[in-house]
């Protein structure tokens, strides 16, 4: 058995003096040394890693959504579907992260919570960029990032850019469906709240699935993403309630009150209304 193992591994590379290693490719030294606790409490490591991993997943979500917006606007809906399906799978990973964080008890969290100061997940710029990419635009959050001009410029660009739903509405118009022309070139800094022509267009798509198969698939991919996002928000809210109850958030938000309020927001309103109207 030992002989067989040595035979199987005899071609494995072991000399990396002039070759790139796995750790170097992933920049693991920097990545694994970025967990800097501000307290001596054992569970602060959990708190840091959960949030860092979530930010990495959000980076990939943004990568996929931005590319899918370009694909939809360029007429490559099939290419966009693969990216959006990947986004939904990533969202399931972020949702499950709350299950791990919920092992942190209130008694444990209060041992290091004060070390956070005013730092809060409310300030996650990548989460804000995801909201912007999905069409929820809030100008007041930009003030948080004025400390970093380069980052503020990125946020402002995302804030002013069309969302994935704007791209979907544009696709409806290109398909010959009767869309209010003001929507195609609207002010993208405004949160979209719905339009009767868009609702009528999606109703046509859902009643003529074979004719508008690509648009039907696009609609369902968007519903998947909003569904998972709302499940993420709900798990976030329940995890926060479980750990800190109704305390004010470290960043000054109302905590549970704010998290419950955002659960009522709909990103793609007509895609939900059409289900009632069919």
Q: Check pLDDT > 60 for residue 1.
A: no
Consult the annotation and say whether 63 binds a ligand.
Answer: no
Consult the annotation and say whether 92 binds a ligand.
Answer: no
Percent of the chain's residues with pLDDT above 70: 94
Question: pLDDT value at position 7?
Answer: 60
Q: Check pLDDT > 80 for residue 17.
A: no
Residue 248 lies in a domain: no
Consult the annotation and say whether 49 binds a ligand.
Answer: yes
Consult the annotation and say whether 191 binds a ligand.
Answer: no
Consult the annotation and say whether 47 binds a ligand.
Answer: yes
What tokens does 249 get?
């958030």
What tokens does 77 get?
């809906």
Consult the annotation and say whether 113 binds a ligand.
Answer: yes
Indicate the number of domains in the chain: 1
How many CA atoms, within 13 angstroms, populate the side-chain half-sphere of residue 90? 21
- CA distances 53 to 28, 93, 202, 277, Å, are 14, 10, 36, 40
Q: pLDDT tens digit string along 118-175?
A: 777 778 999 999 999 999 998 888 988 998 999 999 999 999 999 999 999 999 999 9
Q: Check pLDDT > 60 for residue 199.
A: yes
Measured CA to CA, the distance from residue 218 to residue 206 in angstroms comes to: 11
Residue 263 lies in a domain: yes
Q: What is the CATH number of the domain that holds 265?
A: 1.20.58.480
Consult the annotation and say whether 193 binds a ligand.
Answer: no
| pTM of this structure | 0.90
Consult the annotation and say whether 140 binds a ligand.
Answer: no
Consult the annotation and say whether 216 binds a ligand.
Answer: no
Question: pLDDT value at position 182?
Answer: 95
CB 205 within 8 A of CB 215: yes
Q: Tokens 């022309």 correspond to what residue?
A: 181
Residue 123 lies in a domain: yes
- CA distances 12 to 1, 16, 155, 203, Å, are 18, 11, 45, 58
Residue 266 lies in a domain: yes
Q: Check pLDDT > 60 for residue 35.
A: yes
Q: What integer is the mean pLDDT of 32-45? A: 96
Residue 153 lies in a domain: yes
Measured CA to CA, the distance from residue 54 to residue 119 in angstroms comes to: 16
Residue 261 lies in a domain: yes
| Choice between 183 and 18, residue whose per-residue pLDDT is larger | 183
Expressed as residue numbers, the domain containing 96 is 41-243+255-276
Q: What integer is the mean pLDDT of 113-122? A: 82
């Amino acid at each position: 058995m030992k002989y067989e193992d040595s035979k199987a591994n005899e071609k494995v590379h072991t000399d990396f003096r002039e070759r790139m290693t796995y750790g170097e490719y992933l920049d693991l030294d920097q990545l694994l040394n970025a967990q800097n606790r501000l307290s001596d409490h054992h569970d602060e490591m959990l708190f840091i890693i959960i949030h860092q991993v979530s930010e990495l997943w959000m980076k990939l979500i943004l990568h996929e959504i931005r590319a899918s917006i370009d694909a939809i606007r360029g007429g490559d809906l099939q290419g966009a579907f693969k990216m959006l399906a990947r986004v939904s799978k990533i969202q399931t990973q972020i949702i499950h992260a709350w299950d791990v964080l919920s092992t942190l008890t209130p008694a444990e969290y209060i041992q290091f919570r004060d070390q956070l100061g005013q730092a809060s997940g409310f300030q996650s710029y990548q989460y804000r960029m995801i909201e912007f990419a999905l069409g929820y635009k809030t100008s007041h959050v930009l003030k948080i990032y004025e400390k970093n001009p380069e980052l503020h410029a990125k946020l402002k660009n995302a804030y002013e850019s069309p969302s994935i739903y704007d791209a979907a509405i544009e696709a409806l118009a290109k398909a010959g469906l009767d869309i209010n022309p003001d929507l195609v070139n609207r002010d993208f800094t405004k949160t979209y709240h719905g339009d009767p022509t868009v609702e009528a267009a999606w109703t046509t798509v859902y009643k003529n699935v074979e004719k508008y198969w690509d648009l039907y698939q696009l609609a369902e991919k968007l519903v998947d993403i909003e569904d998972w996002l709302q499940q993420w928000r709900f798990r976030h809210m329940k995890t926060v309630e479980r750990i800190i109850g109704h305390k004010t958030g470290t960043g000054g938000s109302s905590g549970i009150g704010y998290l419950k309020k955002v659960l009522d927001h709909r990103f793609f309103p007509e895609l939900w209304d059409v289900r009632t109207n069919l």
